[in-house]
Amino acid sequence: MTFLNAILLFGLAAAAIPLIIHLLHRSRFRVVKWAAMQFLEIHQRTQRRRIRIEQLLLLLIRCLIPAVLALLMARPVLTGLRALLGAAKTSTVVLLDNSYSMDIGTKNRNTFTEARDAAGQLIRHLGRGSEVSVVLMGGVPAPLLDEPTFNTDRAARELAALQTGYGSANVPAALDLGLGILGKMHEVQRELILVSDFQKISWRERDDVERARLAGLLKKLPINPTVTFMHVGREDRNNVSVQSLDFSRMLLGVGQKFQVRANLKNHGDAAYGDLRVYFRVDGTERAAAQLALGPNEAGQVLFTHTFETAGSHVIEVNADAPDALKSDNSLLASVPVLEKLPVLIINGKPGREPLEGETDFLEIALRPFQNAKGNLTDLITTRVIEPHQMDASVFKDVRVAVLANVAQLQEHQLKALEAFVKAGGGLLIFPGSRVDTAWWNRAFAAEGRGLLPCPLAALEGGLEDNAAHSTVLMQHFEHPALQIFNDPRNGDLSTANIRLWYKLNTAAFQALEKQTGSISNAWKNSASNAVPFVLARLSTGDPFLVERGYGEGSVVLCGVPCSAEWSNLPMRPCYLPLLQQLVTYLAAKFDPPRNVEIGRPLVAVLPAALGGKQVELSDPAGRKVKLDVTAGGGRALAHFADTRRPGLYILALPDQTLLHFVVNAARAESDLAQLSSDEIAGVAKPFDATVVRSWDEYRQLEQRRRYGRDFWRPLLWTLLGLIFAELWLQQRIGRIKR
Amino acid sequence: MADVAQMLTPADLRKIANLQVLARLVVEGFCSGLHTSPHKGFSVEFREHRQYVQGDEIRRLDWKVFGKTDRLYIREYEEETNLRATLLVDVSGSMNYAGSGVSKYTYAIHLAACLAYLMLRQQDSVGLVTFDQKLRQHIPPRSRPSHLQVLLDALQGTQPGGETEIASVFHQLVPKIHRRGLLIIFSDCFGDVSELLTALAHFRHAHHEIIIFQIWDPDELEFPFQQWTRFDSLEHETQQRLIDPVQLRSIYMENLARFRKELKDGCHRHRIDLVPMLTNQPYAEALAYYLARRTKTV
């Protein structure tokens, strides 16, 4: 504790004044000749004691009044520990929420600019020589500057240039990062300031444990930072967002009908009677629809489009709603349109008669329109070869290869096939009557290092009518290739009668280690590891379809042949969608996804010829970045990791071809409900954080922390209390009991 | 010689003249006259002769004297003397306290003089007793108008001093007042309440009617002292107390209230009229008020 007017502390001597007055009065008495002496006697001991106590108390209060007054005028200031530390240099980490919910307001004056300006003020007002780091909380939290800087001006400049719209805020990750940075900073006084709109969705209860852990971590830091939560912006729940786009196809060819289903949600309490929803392709409006959305209602709009040209296209669904947050009113998607999807079929048992060959049904299923002579177009083109025709050259431009009832392959043929899959190709394997099981299990499976996802164990069932037959087990399919069958209108796999099948030993390679990750593993699902994944099972429990990743590509093995020799599967309506789905799935895996979530890397597969060269990527803000193209595995890859900003990224190849990538933010952020002040106080509590609403409030708080708290107010109350107590006591002493 | 006019201002006399002091109990034997006797104009006791003047009733002529002396005389009789009142005035040192106005003693003798005058005008007989710790003076009751002067002289002649011992004095006094009558006590009654009440009961036992005019100085009831004060006793010179009156006031007031309550209850019990009188209260007015109340109750 210090005093601003320490000299006035001499006033404490005034405490003696009442005592002196008392003694003075006692010595200067007057004399009265008195008759009623008998009433002056104090008869009871309690009376005597009471008088003495009251007298002492009164004297004490009277002495205290000038003492407190002197103290008050000396302006005491409670400073605590920080005053001892003295220096105004601090290490400060500012966690700035730049999620897209901060976009509420007009373009020039929204919650984010408020937060950004507050953070800027804060950095500019740090003491000379202070160290600062700014962490942006949106999407994948990342520091604004690579290292904490002592150059606060530079940090403030960088901050001022910031834009919002960086996905949804990840509070625990940002706090984690902030604490990590704070731990490495140098100054003795440390501060952690979190500037956010405290959206409910960013402070979910399920993160409580994580936040509690971080709070524990914070307390364990060698120097405890002062934590401040700055709540910016006002709640305005009136918001409509385009939540997601669903596509009817995984792969799209020129001339094919393409359906986009847009899911919209109204997060607020306002109703939209005729919400206009626009559908744009490559920036041109192609369709519009009207939708009524009540409060908190979700709705869907369906758009259909046919692409005339192959290549990369961008579609956009835009809801024209007069709501608080505009940035989630439209959703983009990149749609690669293929000219053709070439599939190579290796037929191990060609037939002479129609539909007698092993792959005849397969061909029809993959190219239904061509055979039907309809005016619709097939995406898939097929080329059928026999095993002896197979060499490395046949895989040129092929995206998926189908191996049907092939007895065995030559050494060089196997190598070529392995190279094809390793480079990202898809392989679909059907067994059959000609299969050389011994070779398959030895060379083709190769102890788990080969292409075959799992060894063939034995033939099950029988061709006889009285043998135990099987069907495909209908269940809820999680695999993207089979999800279509979750809707019974798309066909029922269980209608096929399977008489003879290969039991697949999926347990064989379970023990193998997971494949070490390559760049593109990030966008693959669980099938990318070495353990075979069972897509569907037969009613006997044996696997029907098994998938396993191999290199950049993927292999799907079926326990049943694709011909009608062992089962009537090819005769069933479900056969066509099944094959179409499997092939397009495998082909789609050939390309890394064009629509990714924030923070996920963008990977582009480019012609091998571009290996070692550079391509140019422009981000949503229009900035251009040169990317190095790395060659490997028969193709070239361009890789871009800094996708914190959602929007359209355009990769321009040297031959002027454009590849579009869309980075989308999770739409959970569109629910603009904010935490109430009580709830904010609740989340602030584990961190011992002080909650402020503005930069001014923070400055006052900081002033108090740094220079201590003015203590005059409680002292004034004490003084008033003493005066009242004195009055009361005096009244009480002079009071007559009746 | 004290002048009646000095003690009883004409204004006071005018106010009191219309009121009558009425005895509550009719003293046996002398109950005729103004109070309750139906024999108006007649009297039992011869008083004096006086010469006839024109306008006197012829029937009241003393024919025997006319026969002897050939002169006309009117017989006058002693009329309606049925109240024997004794004024007991406390002249102890404590009565000497004077705050801002007159002393309690002065007030007491003024009040006594008023009453004496009033009662003598009514032909009642009035006696006087002054006392402190012992009996100082005892003038038996007389009803002659000239007796007033005797009483006033006696009152004027005393000086207050000495201690209060009301109880013992009263016990001494009981056998000296033979015929029962009205006792009017002028005192502050300081001292032991129970002893005082015992003495009063003694009087009551002898069938005396008692009125106590308890004389108070306003200072004694309000205790208005603020600064440190040494209170010196008026009765005992050695008794002194140096106190902060503000501190002690509540205690003083408690003691005072207890004393007054005890006295009031005791008086009520013995059917004694206790009338507190303040020295700043116009005594004549207070007296008139009291007498009016007394009339009503009879």
The CATH number assigned to the domain holding B152 equals 3.40.50.410
B12 and B121, same domain (yes or no): yes
Residue B228 contacts A, CB cutoff 8 Å: yes
CATH architecture of A240-334: Sandwich (2.60)
The radius of gyration of chain A from alpha carbons, rounded to an integer in Å, stands at 39
What CATH number was assigned to the domain covering residues A595-664?
A: 2.60.40.10
Is a pLDDT exceeding 80 seen at residue B201?
yes
Which pLDDT value is given to residue B17? 35
B194 and B171, same domain (yes or no): yes
Total domain count for chain B? 2
Which pLDDT value is given to residue B296? 44
What residue spans define the domains of chain A?
A: 2-79+711-734, 90-235+673-707, 240-334, 341-588, 595-664
Name the residue range of residue B221's domain: 4-26+81-297
B11 and B108, same domain (yes or no): yes
- Going by C-alpha positions, the residue among A265, A267, A247, A266 that lies closest to residue A257 is A247
B52 and B130, same domain (yes or no): no
Q: What is the distance between the alpha carbons of residues A719 and A9, in angstroms, rounded to a whole number?
A: 16
CB contact under 8 A, A36 and B242: no
Residue B265 contacts A, CB cutoff 8 Å: no
CB contact under 8 A, B241 and A35: no
Q: What is the pLDDT of residues B203-253, one digit of tens each?
A: 888 888 888 889 898 888 888 888 888 888 888 878 888 888 887 888 888
Whether B226 and B152 have beta carbons less than 8 Å apart is answered as no
B251 and B123, same domain (yes or no): yes
DSSP code for A101: G
Contacts of A595 (CB under 8 A, 6+ apart): A333, A334, A661, A662, A664
Whether residue B32 is contained in a domain is answered as: no
Q: How many beta carbons lie within 10 A of that of residue B195, not counting itself?
A: 15
CB contact under 8 A, B234 and A35: yes
Q: What is the distance between the alpha carbons of residues B269 and B201, in angstroms, rounded to a whole number?
A: 10
Identify the band that residue B46 occupies on the pLDDT scale cut at 50, 70 and 90: low
Q: Among residues 29-48 of chain B, which lie with CB inside 8 Å of chain A?
A: none
CB contact under 8 A, A28 and B235: no
Residue B234 contacts A, CB cutoff 8 Å: yes
Which residues, given as ranges, of chain A have pLDDT below 50?
81-87, 513-528, 737-738
B55 and B134, same domain (yes or no): no
Query: What tokens does B31 get?
Result: 């109950």
What CATH number was assigned to the domain covering residues A341-588?
A: 3.40.50.880
Nearest CA in chain B to A55: B247
Sheet holding A709-710, edge to edge: A2-3, A76-78, A709-710
Residue B160 contacts A, CB cutoff 8 Å: no
CB contact under 8 A, B243 and A736: no
Query: What tokens does A111 get?
Result: 């919650």
**Residue-wise DSSP of A259-308:** EEEEEEEE-SS--EEEEEEEEEETTEEEEEEEEEE-TT-EEEEEEEEE-S
Show which residues on chain A lie within 8 Å of chain B, measured between beta carbons: 25-26, 28-43, 47, 51, 54-55, 730, 733-738
CB contact under 8 A, A35 and B220: yes
pLDDT above 70 coverage of chain B, percent: 76
Q: Which of B188, B231, B254 sits opposite A32 (nearest CB)?
A: B231
How high is the mean pLDDT of chain A? 82
For tokens 């739409």, the residue is: A667
CATH of A90-235+673-707, one of 3.10.620.30, 3.40.50.410, 3.40.50.800, 1.10.10.10: 3.40.50.410
Q: What is the distance between the alpha carbons of residues B252 and A629, in angstroms, rounded to a whole number?
A: 108
Residue B220 contacts A, CB cutoff 8 Å: yes
Which pLDDT value is given to residue A518? 38
Helices (H), chain B: 4-7, 10-16, 63-69, 104-121, 147-157, 166-173, 193-205, 218-222, 245-269, 283-297
In 3-state terms, what secondary structure has residue A84?
helix
Contacts of A372 (CB under 8 A, 6+ apart): none
Q: What is the pLDDT of residues B84-125, one digit of tens each?
A: 888 898 888 888 888 777 788 888 877 787 777 777 766 778
* b/e code B49-88 from CB counts within 10 Å (16+ = b): eeebeeeeeeeeebeeeeeeeeeebbbeebbbbbbbbbbb
Residues of B with Cβ-Cβ distance to A43 under 8 angstroms: 255
Q: Which of B188, B230, B244 sits opposite A35 (nearest CB)?
A: B188
Q: What is the distance between the alpha carbons of residues A258 and A287, in angstroms, rounded to a whole number?
A: 13
CB contact under 8 A, A51 and B256: no
For tokens 């307001």, the residue is: A105
Which pLDDT value is given to residue A510? 61
Q: What is the pLDDT of residues A507-541, one digit of tens each?
A: 776 655 444 433 334 334 434 456 788 889 999 88
Sign of the dihedral defined by the CA atoms of residues A241, A247, A251, A255, in that order: negative
Helices (H), A74-110: 80-85
Which pLDDT value is given to residue A147? 82
Whether residue B39 is contained in a domain is answered as: no
Residue B239 contacts A, CB cutoff 8 Å: yes
B89 and B210, same domain (yes or no): yes
Q: Which of A38, A54, A736 sits opposite B253 (nearest CB)?
A: A736
Is a pLDDT exceeding 80 seen at residue B44?
no
Residues of A with Cβ-Cβ distance to B230 under 8 angstroms: 29-32
The radius of gyration of chain B from alpha carbons, rounded to an integer in Å, stands at 22
Nearest CA in chain B to A25: B228
Q: How many beta carbons lie within 10 A of that of residue A134, not counting itself?
A: 30
For tokens 């004195």, the residue is: A726
DSSP code for A572: S
Residue B232 contacts A, CB cutoff 8 Å: yes
Whether A570 and A496 have beta carbons less than 8 Å apart is answered as no
Identify the band that residue B261 occupies on the pLDDT scale cut at 50, 70 and 90: very high
Q: How far is CA B184 from CA A169, A281, B111, B211, in A?
A: 103, 126, 10, 5
Comparing A240-334 with A595-664, is the CATH topology the same?
yes
B231 and B255, same domain (yes or no): yes
- Going by C-alpha positions, the residue among A440, A441, A443, A449 that lies closest to residue A421 is A449
User: Among A28, A41, A54, A736, which would you mutate to test the B interface (most chain B Cβ atoms within 10 Å of its Cβ)?
Assistant: A736
B90 and B235, same domain (yes or no): yes
Q: What is the distance between the alpha carbons of residues A318 and A257, in angstroms, rounded to a whole number?
A: 21
B68 and B179, same domain (yes or no): no
Sheet holding A614-618, edge to edge: A595-597, A658-664, A647-652, A614-618, A624-632, A635-640, A602-606
Which pLDDT value is given to residue B21? 31
B50 and B162, same domain (yes or no): no
Contacts of B265 (CB under 8 A, 6+ apart): none
Sheet holding B182-187, edge to edge: B135-142, B125-131, B84-90, B182-187, B209-216, B273-278
Which pLDDT value is given to residue B289? 57
Which pLDDT value is given to residue A115? 86
DSSP code for A472: B
Say how far residue A151 (Cα) sits from the centre of its chain: 31
H/E segment holding residue A372: helix A368-372
Nearest CA in chain B to A33: B232
CB contact under 8 A, B96 and A35: yes
B71 and B195, same domain (yes or no): no
Residues of A with Cβ-Cβ distance to B220 under 8 angstroms: 35-36, 39
Say how far residue A263 (Cα) sits from the centre of its chain: 20
Q: How many beta carbons lie within 10 A of that of residue A227, not counting itself?
A: 21
Q: What is the distance between the alpha carbons of residues A179 and A186, in angstroms, rounded to a whole number?
A: 13
Query: What tokens does A127 get?
Result: 């003491």
